Amino acid sequence: AQKVTQAQTEISVVEKEDVTLDCVYETRDTTYYLFWYKQPPSGELVFLIRRNSFDEQNEISGRYSWNFQKSTSSFNFTITASQVVDSAVYFCALSGQSGGSYIPTFGRGTSLIVHP
């Protein structure tokens, strides 16, 4: 069985602060994929990143960066110099290949509130 835990239910920061969203996962698959999605108040989930289990390189995209550590089964997401527009619910997800199924398991999400 797969499991994704986002222990932080809600995080509140002031603009320009750095913030890290935690994601811990469990899987028995040797090949799997990890994702992050952003859900702004409008409701539509926006794909941010996909990482496969064989690629532990950290990734940076503008103010966003991701830290993937297989040793601790974590895939954390950091926003540098946060902005009000970053306010959203962020979901971490895991997709394995057990039984040929590619259904991702989503965490319960972390609500990020960035105050001006």
Residues engaged in binding other proteins (CB under 8 A): 33, 35, 37, 42-47, 50, 91, 95, 97, 101-104, 106-109
By C-beta, is 53 or 80 nearer to other proteins?
Answer: 53
* CB 40 to other proteins: min, Å: 11
Q: Round the CA-based radius of gyration of the chain to a whole number and report it.
A: 14
Q: Given the complex with other proteins, which of 81 and 102 has the nearer CB atom?
A: 102
CA-based nearest residue to 87, from 107, 114, 59, 61? 114
Nearer to other proteins, 50 or 70 (CB): 50
Instruction: Provide, rounded to whole angstroms, the least separation between the CB of residue 96 and other proteins.
Output: 9
CB of 27: closest distance to other proteins in angstroms? 14
Give the E-state strand segments of the chain in sequence order.
3-5, 10-14, 19-21, 24-26, 33-39, 46-52, 59-61, 64-69, 74-79, 88-95, 105-106, 110-115
For residue 31, is it left (φ>0), alpha (ψ between -120 and 50) or beta?
beta
Residue closer to other proteins by CB (options 15, 29) is 29
